[in-house]
Amino acid sequence: MSELFEAYGELEDFEDRLASADPGERRVAVMELGDFGEAGAIALLLKSLDDTDAGVRTQVAVSLGEYDGPEAAAALAKALLDPEVEVAKAASISAAELKDPASADPLLPLVANENAFVRASALRALKELRRPDTLKVALGALGDKEAQVRAEAVGVIGFLKMEEAIPALKSATQDDDASVRRAAVSALSFSQLKTAQDTIIQATGDKDWQVREIAAETLGKGEEKPEAAKALMDIMTDEFWQVRWKATRSLGQLHVTDAVDLIAPGLNHDQAPNLRKEAAAALGEIASPEGAKYLEPHADDPDPDVRKNVRWALDRIAANKDSDPAATS
């Protein structure tokens, strides 16, 4: 009980400081309320969203990020509507940290707000909450005129991982905006349906290299299937090394033995140590004896991470030979 009275006393002290004529003192008080940890602090933070100083209101939005639940969400929903851009941006960041599913209730109405930034921020926050009843709202937002809103809506749908939403995600991979297509391809990674994989494979031919990159990465998260392996091997000649990098990783994850000769050139990419490192790791994952002849010349690569992966890959290949005598024949 004494701790309760102590908390009330501290809150009264905060109230006095928040009434100070000095905006700097008010900002410090708001900052400390973020660390206070008592539920009563949210009411004071909410009240401070009416402060005349934008710097105070911005700090309120930041401090609210330390709290969770519908009360904090309601305060952040108000902050998202602040006319000062910096306040709204801080609120958007804090709202994305909410985890209590009950926090969705104050945010849902904002998906219909006239401001695209507010709509997108609300959807971004809803994504983390994973509430099934947000699916309908997100599906509706796929028709929004703003690409940033549609991309965030795809994120909500992807996090829900509902097979009934697969048709909408497949359709979103044909969106006019590349950011929406990238989000949709990534969101399809949870589904093991053949129709979803066919769509991801189709995305390896997208005109935007970042869509192709995500498609290559996403295929590695599924089951090993001939269609996926062929698509990945086909894009190993992509003009962007980032696409080849993700395709290399996926081929290793899927243990595609036929890809060894296609992966090996990545060991020679002077400008991209990440690609060399991934090529070595993929050859180790596949552990085919054929990979050793490509790896051995790179045991002294100038990049320590590449050298480490080369050693690991050669050890894996050697161990595979020892455990499977047929591999040496």
Torsion sign across C-alpha atoms 73, 75, 76, 82: positive
Burial class (CB in 10 A: 0-12, 13-18, 19+), 269: middle
∠ CA 162-109-27, nearest 5°, is 110
The pTM is what? 0.85
Each of the 329 residues of the chain gets a pLDDT tens digit; together they read 334 334 445 788 889 999 999 999 999 999 999 998 877 899 999 999 999 999 999 999 999 999 999 999 999 999 999 999 999 999 999 999 999 999 999 999 999 999 999 999 999 999 999 999 999 999 999 999 999 999 999 999 999 999 899 999 999 999 999 999 999 999 998 876 777 899 999 999 999 999 999 999 999 987 767 899 999 999 999 999 999 999 999 999 999 999 999 999 999 988 788 999 999 999 999 999 999 999 999 999 999 999 999 999 999 999 987 676 555 54
User: What is the per-residue burial (b if ≥16 Cβ within 10 Å, else e) of 272-293?
Assistant: eebbbbbbbbbbbbbbbeebee
* pLDDT for the residue numbered 1: 33
Instruction: Please name the CATH architecture into which domain 255-323 falls.
Output: Alpha Horseshoe (1.25)
* pLDDT for the residue numbered 5: 31
* pLDDT for the residue numbered 7: 47
Burial class (CB in 10 A: 0-12, 13-18, 19+), 25: middle
* pLDDT for the residue numbered 327: 54
* pLDDT for the residue numbered 9: 54
**Which candidate, 225, 171, 239, places its Cα nearest to that of 203?**
171
Q: Decide whether 1-98 matches 255-323 in CATH topology.
A: yes
* pLDDT for the residue numbered 4: 35
Q: Dihedral (C-alpha) 206, 211, 217, 218: value to the nearest 10 degrees?
A: -80
Burial class (CB in 10 A: 0-12, 13-18, 19+), 300: exposed
DSSP 280-321: HHHHHHHT-GGGHHHHGGGTT-SSHHHHHHHHHHHHHHHHHH
Please give the structure tokens belonging to residue 229.
């392996």
Cα(150)–Cα(159) distance, integer angstroms: 14
Superfamily name and number for 1-98: Leucine-rich Repeat Variant (1.25.10.10)
* pLDDT for the residue numbered 40: 86
**Which candidate, 212, 166, 156, places its Cα nearest to that of 189?**
166
∠ CA 130-132-136, nearest 5°, is 115
* pLDDT for the residue numbered 23: 94
Q: Which helix (H) or strand (E) holds 13?
A: helix 2-18
Instruction: Please check whether residue 118 is in contact with residue 92, taking contact to mean a CB–CB distance below 8 angstroms.
Output: no
CA distances, 127 to each of 41, 109, 130, 158, 257 (Å): 26, 15, 6, 8, 38
* pLDDT for the residue numbered 225: 79
Q: Can you give the residue ranges of every domain in the chain?
A: 1-98, 255-323
Give 255's DSSP letter.
T
Phi/psi-derived region of residue 69, left when phi > 0, alpha when psi is between -120 and 50, beta in every other case: left
